[in-house]
Amino acid sequence: MSKPAVLLMSRLPEPLAGRLRERFDCHELAPLDAAGLQALAPQLRGMVATGESVVSRALMASLPALEVISVLGVGYDGIDLAAARERGICVAHTPGLSTDDIADFAMALLLAAARQVVNADQFVRRGDWTTGRHPMTRRVSGARLGIVGLGRIGRAVAQRALAFGMEIAYTGRTPKADAPYRWCSDAQALATSVDFLVVCASGGADTRALVNADVLAALGPTGVLVNIARGSIVDEEALITALRERQILAAGLDVFCHEPQLAPELLALDNVVLTPHMASTTGATVQAMFDLTFDNLAAHFDGLPVPAPVA
């Protein structure tokens, strides 16, 4: 039997790409021009995307044989799910595997931003400690934590924050009946009542710029923002202004609006910790994500239930 033809939306790490090539007839999108993609289109039955991939209605329409999209990642906001459902295209992803790693990293960013860990490291390396003490930093233990989006990751962040004696509140579309934390009806109300705001919500049109200038103003000059979700959820220009003008104390960011390109204004600020979208990238989690990405695709073509379809 011939191998099913699969379109790779971006260059994948070799451990996954090599395994896919053994089982499937793989074609990378990047080298293909419009004519090349059109020539391949009747054969392409599968697709491997990432959380940053854009799979539009138009692209799906140009691939008449497409049956399944396997996403390497939890997020799939770049995929037109309505179009996929209309076409009967199965969309699968890799949820749950990175929850603990991302929650751990959220707390790492929170601590780094509040306690000025990066600045303190530079302070020591410059030799400034020999002439004076580092400025005082913000306490974390016993503070009030607000979580934007109490899904799997938000709940895991809350568990960790409890160990710091923090008071937890959250916002989301509706209160969670099984959550013992205080619910706020919107992000601004939440920001008004907390010291730290951690963004854990899903990306997409519904949450675009959810954390805006008003929310940041509500967080206030001693507040700290952490974003380990999607860059689009925070109004980046408003955040730059809030940090530059000290309307908030600090921020820890692992995601950005136009990553890997960052706004020069962000790079110039000393009250923000910047990391390269690495919250989920531990060796164990990445391997598990590779495995599930492959298994989702293979199960579809084997006629078996797909392990992790998008709900």
Alpha helices in 81-222 (DSSP H): 81-87, 99-114, 117-125, 152-163, 187-192, 213-219
Given the residues 45, 155, 230, 300, the one annotated as active site: 230
Question: Is 13 within 8 Å of 290 (Cβ atoms)?
Answer: yes
Residues facing 226 on adjacent strands: 198, 252
139 is catalytic: no
Question: Is 191 within 8 Å of 149 (Cβ atoms)?
Answer: no
Rounded Cα distance, 41 and 62, in Å: 7
Q: What sign does the CA torsion over 146, 211, 260, 240 have?
A: negative
Given the residues 27, 144, 152, 277, the one annotated as active site: 277
Rounded Cα distance, 43 and 74, in Å: 27
Neighbouring C-beta atoms of residue 95, cutoff 10 Å = 19
Neighbouring C-beta atoms of residue 231, cutoff 10 Å = 18
Neighbouring C-beta atoms of residue 57, cutoff 10 Å = 13
Alpha-carbon distances, residue 167 vs 1, 52, 72, 239, 251 (angstroms): 59, 34, 34, 24, 19
Rg value, the chain, Cα: 22
27 is catalytic: no
87 is catalytic: no
* Residues marked as catalytic: 230, 259, 277
